[in-house]
Structure 1
């Protein structure tokens, strides 16, 4: 009698396991569908970045093919979303000249930005005798002597979106802020020496320059 009952019990156990798996799959599908619908309805917008100002304390390109810099930048970030928060998990900021990185990366501390909130960061970006490509070094010296240098302040990092109790995975954040550094004409030719020796700022510029943002 027991031998006849065993297949029946095995069949019932397998059927229960299949029903349980089916219920879990349906639950996960419905949950994913709800999240996608909420995400589509809310339509998260990218943060908006603005380069507020730039203060140059050192900009020395007097040594051929090497550059020493010390630049203080102020950047604001605004979350334009009504119901979505933003986690900034990791942000690195640095300067680019003609597609070549000319400063070290400086880190911006992780933070959370609520709905419609604005954060302001004021990091230093700098480098000591950073190698520069010969053709960039020559152009950089010429532009500094002429009084105007165009740099790109870049931010690379990771962000997460927060909707209610749901937090998304990490997304790569790319920010590019154009910065025109204008040296006073009376000191443009001597800017390298003054930048290297002066305790005060060589030049301070109000930018209010909008940055391009990609996520």
Structure 2
């Protein structure tokens, strides 16, 4: 039995490639299959030594720049923290004023108008650890009743109040320092019948802050203390050592 050669099927695309190669060879060459896939070659680019030197130089420059920026930022953060801590320790707090005593002994007497006296005791405290106060002027104390000035006096001479120190302002208003008349005394008695007579003590002076050898500019300090006495002429309990007097500067 004769065996016939095996004929493999050829695709149209394969025949096209064979024909193209045969035509290009002028018909004198045997057709050779052209494989497009095998002709794909990768192109490798080469760089000069200067290129790599520049790359290394750029890398070192970038690293040095980042290091310098990090050091500068770190120093700024440390300086800011130290400045904030220093500001907290040296930041001046306002003086604190409290009324310890206030009384009108003659208020309980029907004919107490002639010998009327107002006795007061105020403490001025410096709460700072490192800041002192220079009071350049004497303390001016004014007593108000229904926003009318009814008496005033001057206490203390200019002085330096050291840190964590307390100064007592004690005074008595009577005679020429207490502007009293019969009509006003009758108003006191009317309020007394209601259970309380309310006054306002105002303290003013000129103050400077002292930190070591440095002194601030002068500021006008104003203190307003609301006080009230009962029918016996003594300070009511709600005003004793509880209420801090508002302080402001101008």
TM range (shorter): 0.5 to 0.7
Q: Could you say which structure has the higher helix fraction?
A: 2
2: CA distance, partners of 1:214 / 1:61: 37
The counterpart of 2:214, out of the listed 156, 166, 181, is 166
Q: Does 2:120 correspond to 1:73?
A: yes
Q: Which deviations, in whole Å up to 9, do the C-alpha atoms of 1:124-178 show, x marking residues without a partner?
A: 133557267x7x7764441033341000111011111111111222210100111
Q: Could you say which structure has the higher strand fraction?
A: 1
Query: 1:44, CA displacement in angstroms?
Result: 1.0
2: CA distance, partners of 1:43 / 1:119: 21
Q: How does 1:146-157 map to 2 (within 5 A)?
A: 146-157=194-205
Seen in structure 2, the aligned counterparts of structure 1 residues 68 and 150 have a Cα distance that, compared at 3 Å, is farther
Aligned to 2:98: 50
Aligned partners of 1:106 and 1:125 also within 8 Å: no
Aligned partners of 2:155 and 2:169 also within 8 Å: no
Q: Which has the higher contact order (CA 8 A, sep 6+)?
A: 1
Query: 1:61, CA displacement in angstroms?
Result: 11
Query: 1:118, CA displacement in angstroms?
Result: 1.3
Q: Does 2:211 correspond to 1:177?
A: no
Q: Does 2:160 correspond to 1:112?
A: yes
1: CA distance, partners of 2:108 / 2:162: 40
Seen in structure 2, the aligned counterparts of structure 1 residues 91 and 138 have a Cα distance that, compared at 3 Å, is same
Moved over 3 A (4+): 57-63, 66-69, 126-129, 136-141, 202-206
Q: Give the total of aligned pairs.
A: 158
Q: Which deviations, in whole Å up to 9, do the C-alpha atoms of 1:39-81 show, x marking residues without a partner?
A: x822211100110111324459989xx9974211111111111
1: CA distance, partners of 2:180 / 2:119: 21
2: CA distance, partners of 1:156 / 1:130: 19
Task: Tell me which structure has the larger Cα radius of gyration.
Answer: 2
Aligned to 1:93: 141
For normalisation by structure 1, the TM-score amounts to: 0.61
Aligned partners of 1:160 and 1:169 also within 8 Å: yes
2: CA distance, partners of 1:87 / 1:57: 35
